[in-house]
A and B are shown apart, each in its own frame.
Chain A
Amino acid sequence: AQKITQTQPGMFVQEKEAVTLDCTYDTSDQSYGLFWYKQPSSGEMIFLIYQGSYDEQNATEGRYSLNFQKARKSANLVISASQLGDSAMYFCAMRSSGANSKLTFGKGITLSVRP
């Protein structure tokens, strides 16, 4: 069974600073993918970044990067140069290989960016 753990309480960051959102996972599968989604107050789920379990380099997408530490089973999201529009809920998720595997989500972290 897969499990995603996000235990940080609400996070606060000053505008233009960097912030790290923590995510740990548990799986017995060798091949899996890790995802981060952003959910603003409107409710839509916005895909941010993906990391494959066999990827040797950390994924980056613009201001987003994923600090992947496979041995520790952690996949932390780093947001650089925070903007006010980054205030939202952030979800870490995982999916194993297989045609019918499902995306399992953590409980999410609320990020507030202060001006």
Chain B
Amino acid sequence: SQTIHQWPATLVQPVGSPLSLECTVEGTSNPNLYWYRQAAGRGLQLLFYSVGIGQISSEVPQNLSASRPQDRQFILSSKKLLLSDSGFYLCAWRRGLGVDYGYTFGSGTRLTVV
């Protein structure tokens, strides 16, 4: 069966420090992968998505970047964190190409920048 792993679960980082969040998917190949951010009490904002190795699309300009070094690995990074980067980060993958396939989400990383 397919599973998605995301870590760490929580992270407290000082302003100006680097960031690396990792997401991996098991049990499938060539998935579409997504990074979402959720501010406190708000909806989900799509940050990046990837349809294949090395292919990254950015939805909003920001202090973050994403990379996909392997088929089932998606990494969210920052060279220098800002206070505004605090939030709940969710990785997701999509099962198929049809419109009836929703997304399966990881358990999320709660990032607090201090």
Measured CB to CB, the nearest residue on chain B to A36 is B102
Size class of the B contact interface (CB-based, 8 Å): 20 to 34
Q: Is the CB of B99 within 8 A of A96?
A: yes
Q: Is the CB of B107 within 8 A of A50?
A: no
Q: How many A-B residue pairs have CB under 8 A?
A: 65
Minimum distance in angstroms from B10 CB to a CB of chain A: 10
Given that A44-B107, A91-B44 are known contacts, is A31 also in contact with B99, CB under 8 Å in the complex? Answer: yes
Q: Tell me what chain B mostly uses at the interface: helix, strand, loop, or mixed.
A: strand
Measured CB to CB, the nearest residue on chain B to A29 is B99
Cross-chain contact of A47 among B43, B88, B98, B102 (Cβ < 8 A): B102
Q: Is the CB of A43 within 8 A of B51?
A: no
Query: Which residues of A are interface residues toward B (Cβ below 8 A)?
Result: 31-33, 35, 37, 42-45, 47, 50, 52-53, 91, 93, 95-97, 99-108
